[in-house]
Homo-oligomer: A and B are copies of this chain.
């Protein structure tokens, strides 16, 4: 049986809910905010910064690196690594440690790529039709102001940039995952059913 399930997801696809329900059904540990808490504790970085920068690169990469360098020298003293890279290193170490303990569901944060040398992982990607993502984002108030569809796209773009920058792989390309499910087609519970069935079988 697979012991580590990574759930990558488009913003608004319901991937987080699917991950949570799946963990409950399997009796697995669920890591999302819990991961952020641990990264905060071990890195000394603010949770808000980790949440913002732990799986997104927004705006100009060059600007990010420049401002990271400034922050880095403030926080880490002599360290030459930009802050976002330090965050990635700490986060990766924690993900590897969590995986070592097994029986877990990890949401986002490049966990699929970080754990790619393991054979006991199942990497899942959750997508949804745009109209359903907009409805979910509105219901859950992801973006209080402005055009929701545009902001969803921007969020996914920032995740894709982050993933590519750190893993050198393309986010959302079918061949990087074991299983991709469209939650508009199968519903949140349908997706949980399929993943649960496959986890138990393999």
Contacts and interface: CB of A to CB of B under 8 A. Distances in A.
Given A180-B179, A180-B180, A194-B194, A185 B202 contact: yes
A174 interface: yes
Interface string A190-202: 1000100110011
A186 B173 contact: no
A181 interface: yes
A7 interface: no
A11 to B, nearest CB: 12
27 contacts: A122-B185, A125-B180, A127-B174, A127-B175, A172-B174, A172-B175, A173-B173, A173-B174, A174-B174, A174-B177, A174-B180, A177-B180, A177-B182, A178-B181, A178-B182, A178-B185, A178-B186, A179-B185, A179-B186, A180-B180, A185-B202, A186-B201, A190-B198, A190-B201, A190-B202, A194-B197, A197-B197
Interface of A: 10, 122, 125, 127, 172-175, 177-182, 185-186, 190, 194, 197-198, 201-202
- 5 shortest interchain CB distances as A-B pairs: A180-B180, A178-B185, A178-B182, A174-B180, A127-B175
Given A172-B174, A194-B198, 15 more contacts: A10-B175, A125-B174, A125-B180, A173-B174, A174-B180, A177-B180, A177-B182, A178-B182, A178-B186, A179-B181, A179-B185, A179-B186, A186-B198, A186-B201, A190-B198
